Structure 1
Amino acid sequence: MSRPRLEIADIFRAHGPAWRRANAGHVSLTQLRVMSAIEACRTEALGGHVAACGKCGHQHVAYNSCKNRHCPKCQGPAARDWMTARAEDLLPVEYFHVVFTLPAEITRIAYWNKRALYGLLFRAAAETVTTIAADPKHLGARVGMTSVLHTWGSALTHHPHVHMIVPGGGLSPDGSHWIACRRGFFLPVRVLSRLFRRLFLEGLAALHEEGELQVFADLEGLTNPAAFAAYLAPLRKVEWVVYAKPPFGGPEAVLAYLSRYTHRVAISNHRLVGADAETVAFRWKDYRIKAGDRTKIMRLATDEFIRRFLIHVLPDGFHRIRHYGLLAGATRKATIGHIRELLGQRQPAQETQEAAEIIPLTLREPCPCCGGPMRIVEIFRCGQKPSARAPPREQAA
């Protein structure tokens, strides 16, 4: 994929300093570090290397990546590496995509309590699926799942939700056989929705009772227990949005499907249309439109665009990809191997050490001109310039 003509980094470099001055004291250290990392990504500020082809002599300069998980340019390679590692976990069964979404009233509380409520969202969603799947009235099996947190809507609004990929079945309680779900149907979403609602509200009430929640502005009165209970009361009677659908294709297609969610950031560079000191324009999807082209162009004030991007910066050390049930813990590989035996699938061949070894200083990507091996011929440190005269390489996001 070619490099987009406009990037988040360009907006941060041009307008970030003024935005930081205007919002001094209201921006977290984590958010400031994310801005700095994105601004420096794949520039001389982080150093890099010069690579040369052993066949045709082609050379190019490649600057180092910031590797920040919120950087649009760094998530493509990170997603590919993650998907390669997950390939050996795939089972020859149907997979399902389940999404758990929080109501807007809860989202407002989550805005100031990201670590606590995002963690509760993960736990409540996983416990919901595990509990319903274990019920003999539905599946009667122990299941596994991979959950991914997204905190945004297409317009960069705060919209926390969990994407969950679940194999269509599970192990029997005694582990002796595999119990498959009905083809095209995993678990009843209304049952999932109501248990999820109860578990989340119980967890939220416990956090409030323990004094773990902070609320500000027009919600500041919710520090009072009675006011908080009254605020939650209507949410116990409405349906919470949970939906499930089977991904298209077989197990191999699941990896491609999952890669759309695992390392996505709030907005990709390719959605950007234009930017100046006044506004940023980007493409978004209006899901209120039921049929036809949902894509529209949104224009936000530049300072508002930066603010919306930064509200999706996760707390330090918070894991946005988590595994539960059969796919969790140190016993995951052994459990998957056991399931494969029950399903009559051969274990994937293990690469030999020699085959997996990468020759030192040799890049994985071949020469763009002749396909020959590219070797690093020079390394330069942060702030230095390469001595070799070579054009910078176009790096895809």
Structure 2
Amino acid sequence: MPRPTLEVADVFHAHGQHWRESHAGHVSLAQLKVMSGIEHCRSEVLGGHVLHCPACEHTQIAYNSCRNRHCPKCQASAAKRWLAARQTELLPVDYYHVVFTLTQPISELAYYNKSVMYGLLLKAAAKTLLMIGADTKHLGTRLGVTFVLHTWGSAMTHHPHVHGIVPGGGLSLDGEKWVSCKAGFFLPVRVLSRLFRRLYPEGLHEAYEQNKLLFFGDCLPIKEEIPFLAWLNNQRKVEWVVYAKRPFAGPQAVLAYLSRYTHRVAIANSRLVAMDKETVSFKWKNYRVKEQNRQRTMTLTHDEFIRHFLLHVLPSGFHRIRHYGLTANTGRKKNLDKARQLLNVKVPTVTLDKTLSGESCEPTPTFVCPCCGAAMIVTDVLLHLYLPRAPPLLLN
């Protein structure tokens, strides 16, 4: 794939240092690490190796990737590895796409409390689905769901929401049969919205009582208990958006969707249009208008572009992809085996490499020559330019 003419790294190279200096003291360590990783990704700073093709004598240098989960260049391979692990977990049933979104006032508070409130968003959305799914008035089943957290809108604004992939049915409460939902209809979104609107504020109130929330900027007026409770009560009176899309067209469509969503970052390099001395322009979609007229171009100053991008840096160690119910990590294999037994299907086979299947003893080359397609060999290793850190000083 050809390299895009403009990348996020180019913006950071040209203006990142000035942005760091002008915002010193207001940038987190996680944001600094993301900037450094993107700037140095696939460059001599991270080291690499020299490749040589014995067939056509072509030589090239391949630099190492930063492998940061916010880097636009490092997510394609990570998504492929994750998808390969998910292929055997799909069931031959309809899958539905559900979206849970926070209200704007709560989103503003969530920016200062990412770990607590993003985690609560995932848990409340999962609990909503599992509770309504288990209700005998609806399905009366144990559902399974995979959630992916996104914190951005198309224009890189702060817009926390979760995308969920849910099979259209689940194991009965006694575990003795598979119960499917009605064709083309999963669960009533109005019921989901009402329960989500109750569960999330309850969890937020609990976090407040445990002093887990921080208040800055426009959120300072609700720091005290009485204003906070009044504000929270107002959030219970507005509509909370829960959206359910029509079922996917088979398991392969589910995988295609997941490949686009699981490892997406705030903006892909392909969306960048132009950069000059003052501004950066990029493509975005305005979802408030008709589909054929959604494409727009937005222009921001360099400082605003970098600020918008770094809004979406997640806390260190935060898991943005989570599984609940039948697909939760603790009981996934047992539950899926039971579901396949009841559905009378076998475990889907994953296409294996000829090397792994034993059909050929010829190994698949790790590096392929771009000129002739032959296998390339590593002739030299280039060390990264970072020196190891010295051990901390021990003060007596």
Task: State TM-score, norm by structure 1.
Answer: 0.92
Q: 2:150 maps to which residue?
A: 150
Gap regions ≥5 residues in structure 1: 385-397
Q: Which moved more, 1:101-110 or 1:211-220?
A: 211-220
Q: 1:391 maps to which residue?
A: none
Paired residues for 1:1-397 under 5 Å:
1-53=1-53, 55-349=55-349, 355=356, 363-364=365-366, 366-383=368-385
Does the 8 Å contact 1:145/1:327 carry over to 2? yes
1:359/1:381 Cα in 2 relative to 1: closer, same or farther (>3 Å)? farther
Gap regions ≥5 residues in structure 2: 387-396
Q: What SS class does the counterpart of residue 105 from structure 1 fall into?
A: helix
Q: 1:395 maps to which residue?
A: none
Does the 8 Å contact 1:362/1:375 carry over to 2? no
Q: What amino acid is aligned across from residue 99 of structure 2 in structure 1?
A: V
1:227/1:38 Cα in 2 relative to 1: closer, same or farther (>3 Å)? same
Does the 8 Å contact 1:362/1:376 carry over to 2? no
Q: Distance in 2 between matches of 1:307 and 1:334?
A: 45
What is the Cα deviation at residue 336 of structure 1? Answer: 1.3
What is the Cα deviation at residue 288 of structure 1? Answer: 1.4
Deviations 1:118-155, CA, capped at 9 Å, x for gaps: 00000000000000000011111001111000000111
What is the Cα deviation at residue 361 of structure 1? Answer: 10
1:356/1:54 Cα in 2 relative to 1: closer, same or farther (>3 Å)? farther
Q: What amino acid is aligned across from residue 69 of structure 1 in structure 2?
A: R
Q: What amino acid is aligned across from residue 40 of structure 1 in structure 2?
A: H
What is the Cα deviation at residue 247 of structure 1? Answer: 4.5
Q: Distance in 2 between matches of 1:363 and 1:9?
A: 29
Q: Distance in 2 between matches of 1:52 and 1:202?
A: 61
What is the Cα deviation at residue 198 of structure 1? Answer: 0.3
Does the 8 Å contact 1:15/1:277 carry over to 2? no
Q: Which moved more, 1:331-340 or 1:196-205?
A: 331-340
Q: What amino acid is aligned across from residue 244 of structure 2 in structure 1?
A: A
Q: Distance in 2 between matches of 1:359 and 1:42?
A: 32
Q: What SS class does the counterpart of residue 292 from structure 1 fall into?
A: helix
Q: What amino acid is aligned across from residue 79 of structure 2 in structure 1?
A: A
What is the Cα deviation at residue 342 of structure 1? Answer: 1.4
Does the 8 Å contact 2:130/2:325 carry over to 1? yes
Q: 2:391 maps to which residue?
A: none
Does the 8 Å contact 2:172/2:179 carry over to 1? yes
Deviations 1:225-275, CA, capped at 9 Å, x for gaps: 110111122221221000011343211111011111100000000111112
Does the 8 Å contact 1:362/1:374 carry over to 2? no
Deviations 1:271-311, CA, capped at 9 Å, x for gaps: 11112331111001111112422111101111011011001
Q: Distance in 2 between matches of 1:278 and 1:381?
A: 36
Q: Distance in 2 between matches of 1:20 and 1:372?
A: 44
Deviations 1:337-364, CA, capped at 9 Å, x for gaps: 2211211112235769961799999644
Task: State TM-score, norm by structure 2.
Answer: 0.92
Over aligned residues, Cα RMSD in angstroms?
2.2
Q: What amino acid is aligned across from residue 117 of structure 1 in structure 2?
A: M
Deviations 1:82-127, CA, capped at 9 Å, x for gaps: 1111111111110000000000010011011111100000000000
Q: Report the count of equivalent residues.
A: 384
Q: What amino acid is aligned across from residue 268 of structure 1 in structure 2?
A: A
Does the 8 Å contact 1:98/1:244 carry over to 2? yes
Does the 8 Å contact 1:115/1:315 carry over to 2? yes
Deviations 1:6-50, CA, capped at 9 Å, x for gaps: 101111011000010000000001100110000000001111122
1:213/1:360 Cα in 2 relative to 1: closer, same or farther (>3 Å)? farther
1:137/1:290 Cα in 2 relative to 1: closer, same or farther (>3 Å)? same
Q: Which moved more, 1:140-149 or 1:362-371?
A: 362-371
Q: What amino acid is aligned across from residue 313 of structure 1 in structure 2?
A: V
